[in-house]
Amino acid sequence: MFSLIFNRLMLAIPSLIGVVIVTFLLTRALPGDPAAYFAGPAATEQAIAEIRAKLGTDKPLIVQFGRYVSDLARGELGNSLTTGQSVAKEIATRLPASAELTLIGLMLVVILAVPMGILAATRPGSWIDHVTRIVSTAGVSLPVFFTGLLLVYVFYYRLGLSPSPVGRLDVFLSAPPHITGFYLIDAALARDAEVFVAALKQLILPALTLAIFALAPIARMTRASMLAVLSADFVRTARASGLSSSKVIVTYAFRNAVLPVITTLGMVLSFLLGANVLVEKVFAWPGIGSFAVEALIASDYAPVQGFVLTMAALYVALNLAIDIAYGLIDPRVRISS
Partner 1 sequence: MAAPALLVDNLSVEFQTRSGVVKALEGVSFNVAKGETLAVVGESGSGKSVTAYAVMGILDAAAAVTSGRAVLGGLDLLAASKEAMAEVRGREVAMIFQNPRTALNPIRRVGDQIADVLLRHANVTPNAAPREAIKLLETVGITDPVRRAKAYPFELSGGMCQRVMIAIALAAQPSLLIADEPTTGLDVTTQAIIMDIIAERASATGMATIFITHDLGLAAERADRIVVMHAGHVVEAQRTRDLFAHPRHPYTQALIAATPGHTSRLAELSTIGGNLPDLRAAKLPACRYAARCPRKLAICDSSLPSIDPTAPEALACHNPVSSPPMGEAA
Partner 2 sequence: MSTNASALRHARYVLGENPVTAFAFGLFVLIVLAAILGPSVVPYDPLASNTSRALQAPSAQHWFGTDQLGRDIFSRVIVATRLDLFIAIASVALVFMLGGLSGVAAGYFGGWVDKVVMRIADTIMAFPLFVLAMGIVAALGNSVQNIILATAIVNFPLYARVARSEANIRREAGYIEAARLSGNGDARIVLTQILPNIIPILVVQMSLTMGYAILNAAGLSFIGLGVRPPTPEWGIMVAEGAAFMVSGEWWIAFFPGLALMLAVFCFNLLGDGLRDIVDPRRRT
What is the contact surface with partner 1 in residues (CB under 8 A)?
124, 231-234, 236-244, 247, 251-252, 255-256, 259, 329-332, 335
Query: Least separation, in Å, of the C-beta of 236 and partner 1?
Result: 6
- How far is 183 from 190, CA to CA, in rounded Å? 10
Contacted entry of partner 1, partner 2, none for residue 45, CB cut-off 5 to 8 Å set by kind: none
Interaction with partner 2 in 169-228: which residues (CB under 8 A)?
A: 224
- Using CB under 8 A as the binding rule, whether residue 308 contacts partner 2 is answered as yes
Residue closer to partner 1, measured from CB, 121 or 205 = 121
- How far is 225 from 259, CA to CA, in rounded Å? 9
HSE of 269, CA atoms in CB hemisphere, 13 A:
22
Residue closer to partner 1, measured from CB, 191 or 332 = 332
Among 23, 122, 222, 256, binds partner 2 (CB under 8 A): 23
Query: Least separation, in Å, of the C-beta of 133 and partner 1?
Result: 18
Interaction with partner 2 in 49-68: which residues (CB under 8 A)?
A: none
Residue 210 makes CB contacts below 8 A (sequence gap 6+) with: 101, 102, 105, 106, 108, 109, 144, 272, 275, 276, 279
- How far is 17 from 313, CA to CA, in rounded Å? 10
Residue 11 makes CB contacts below 8 A (sequence gap 6+) with: 323
Residues in the chain: 337
Query: Least separation, in Å, of the C-beta of 246 and partner 2?
Result: 28
Residue closer to partner 1, measured from CB, 28 or 236 = 236
- How far is 20 from 69, CA to CA, in rounded Å? 8
- How far is 277 from 285, CA to CA, in rounded Å? 9
Residue closer to partner 2, measured from CB, 199 or 304 = 304
Compose the 267-306 pattern: x for residues touching partner 2 by CB under 8 A, - for all others: --xxxxxxx-xx--xx---------xx--xx-x-x--xx-
| Nearest by Cα to 310 from 279, 284, 289 | 289
Contacted entry of partner 1, partner 2, none for residue 299, CB cut-off 5 to 8 Å set by kind: partner 2
Measured in whole angstroms, how far is the alpha carbon of residue 118 from the centre of its chain? 25
Query: Least separation, in Å, of the C-beta of 110 and partner 1?
Result: 20
Cβ atoms 50, 41 nearer than 8 A: no
Cβ atoms 225, 122 nearer than 8 A: no
Among 65, 156, 321, 330, binds partner 2 (CB under 8 A): 156
Residue 264 makes CB contacts below 8 A (sequence gap 6+) with: 217, 218, 221
What are the two backbone dihedrals, phi and then psi, of residue 86, each rounded to the nearest 5 degrees? -70, 130
Cβ atoms 223, 261 nearer than 8 A: no
| Total site size for partner 2, rule CB under 8 A | 56
Cβ atoms 276, 292 nearer than 8 A: no
Residue closer to partner 1, measured from CB, 45 or 233 = 233
Query: Least separation, in Å, of the C-beta of 244 and partner 2?
Result: 31
Query: Least separation, in Å, of the C-beta of 269 and partner 1?
Result: 23
Query: Least separation, in Å, of the C-beta of 247 and partner 2?
Result: 29
3-state secondary structure of 267: helix
Given the rule CB under 8 A, which residues bind partner 2? 14-16, 18-19, 21-23, 26-27, 29-31, 137-138, 140-146, 149-150, 152-153, 156-157, 164-165, 224, 269-275, 277-278, 281-282, 292-293, 296-297, 299, 301, 304-305, 307-308, 311-312, 315-316
